[in-house]
Amino acid sequence: MGSRLVGYGSYLPERVMTNQDFEKIMDTSDEWIVQRTGMRERHFARDDETVVDMATIAAKRALENAKLKIDDIDLVICASTSPELDFPSVAVQVLGKLGATKNIPAYDVRGACTGFIYALHCARAFFTAGMHERILIIGAEKMSRFIDWSDRSTAVLFGDGAGAMIFERSTSSYSGIIDTVVMSDGREFDMLHGSPDHHIIMNGPETYKKAVELMPNAAQYIMDHAGITADNVDWIIPHQANLRIITSGAARLGFPLEKILVTVDKHANTSAASGVLAIAYAFDNGILKHGQLVLYPAFGSGLTWGAALIRV
């Protein structure tokens, strides 16, 4: 038992905040941000725009893309670090907004920037066990909620947005979500975490060192497990936290520059939404083609890390 991708969708808020906009309000520069992170702009949701709103639009677009209705789905998993409400889950609120009339199971996973990989991991297990037919997976974040405007070292790094993918059960084990691996290490919790007053606390250089080690490790594990090399993979689409992390990790794995998909310049770090937003961007711009093999490693707060191998 395996799966196949039947639809995708994404949503980016209208408001764009450029590096130059940051220059006007804090002691930073376009040059520093581009050089250290590769980021040039990011999207910020309106004050009245919630994670649920963004998740709902991305999910609706994925359903349209798949030519399905919400009642055709039999499980919804949403990866989000930034929901406005502690309960209920974003996933169940999306069901309500989309007008589901069936009792579809829906829940959230919290794996920070690795959240979408955790959701893919759950979906793969359910397909393998033959437990679900069609799973809608959403990654949605309003990271701008957490910005500490007095801390230039984290304020410039994040963005908002949502992406969604729909997978269907298939008899092929070499399409859809082919393989996943997820890891965590709670001992490194204080390297990157949220504070009680909802701000991002990060030791940037230490987090950087872990990211360049652990993301490629997870990706290599998946390639070894699948018996493939970088030559067999069409695209590496990593979590978009920093251009230097992306390019050095991909180079370590043997990926040439032209196989690395980068959206960190346009979206900045959208946490659990970053990989799925990048996949949607690549489809929308004719970069990614159906049938291609994508390796998607991620890393984030927890620490959490992992990777997925997806034939899209």
Q: Does 200 bind ligand UT7 (CB under 6 A)?
A: no
Q: Does 50 bind ligand UT7 (CB under 6 A)?
A: no
Find the shortest distance in angstroms from Cβ 149 to ligand UT7: 12
- Secondary structure E strands in the chain: 2-11, 15-18, 41-44, 75-79, 106-109, 134-142, 160-170, 176-184, 192-194, 200-202, 235-236, 293-300, 304-311
Q: Provide the token pair at 107.
A: 């829940």
Q: Does 191 bind ligand UT7 (CB under 6 A)?
A: no
212 in Cβ contact with 204 (< 8 Å):
no
Question: Which one is catalytic: 122, 239, 242, 267?
Answer: 239
Q: Which of 140, 106, 170 is nearest to 13 (CA)?
A: 140
Q: Does 114 bind ligand UT7 (CB under 6 A)?
A: no
Find the shortest distance in angstroms from Cβ 241 to ligand UT7: 4
113 is a catalytic site residue: yes
Q: Does 241 bind ligand UT7 (CB under 6 A)?
A: yes
Q: Tell me the residue number closest to ligand UT7, measured at CB.
A: 204
Residue with tokens 């397909």: 127
269 is a catalytic site residue: yes
210: helix, coil or strand? Answer: helix
Question: Which one is catalytic: 113, 122, 132, 217?
Answer: 113
Using CB under 6 A, which of 60, 69, 152, 193 touches ligand UT7? 152
Q: Does 272 bind ligand UT7 (CB under 6 A)?
A: no
**How far apart (Å, rounded) are the C-alpha atoms in residues 278 and 287?**
11
Q: Does 40 bind ligand UT7 (CB under 6 A)?
A: no
Find the shortest distance in angstroms from Cβ 288 to ligand UT7: 22
Using CB under 6 A, which of 3, 56, 65, 242 touches ligand UT7? 242
- Secondary structure E strands in 12-132: 15-18, 41-44, 75-79, 106-109
Total number of residues binding ligand UT7 (CB under 6 A)? 20
Residue 11 carries which side chain, given as an amino acid letter? Answer: Y
Find the shortest distance in angstroms from Cβ 135 to ligand UT7: 25
Query: Which residues neighbour 278 within 8 Å (Cβ) at sequence distance 6 or greater?
Result: 237, 240, 261, 262, 263, 267
Q: Does 37 bind ligand UT7 (CB under 6 A)?
A: yes
Q: Which of 158, 140, 144 is nearest to 79 (CA)?
A: 140
Find the shortest distance in angstroms from Cβ 29 to ligand UT7: 6
Q: Does 246 bind ligand UT7 (CB under 6 A)?
A: no
**Chain centroid to CA 135:** 16
State which of positions 204-223 bind ligand UT7 (CB under 6 A): 204-205, 207-208, 211
The residues annotated as belonging to the active site are 113, 239, 269
Which residues contact ligand UT7 by CB under 6 A? 28, 32-33, 36-37, 113, 152-153, 156, 204-205, 207-208, 211, 241-242, 245, 269, 299-300
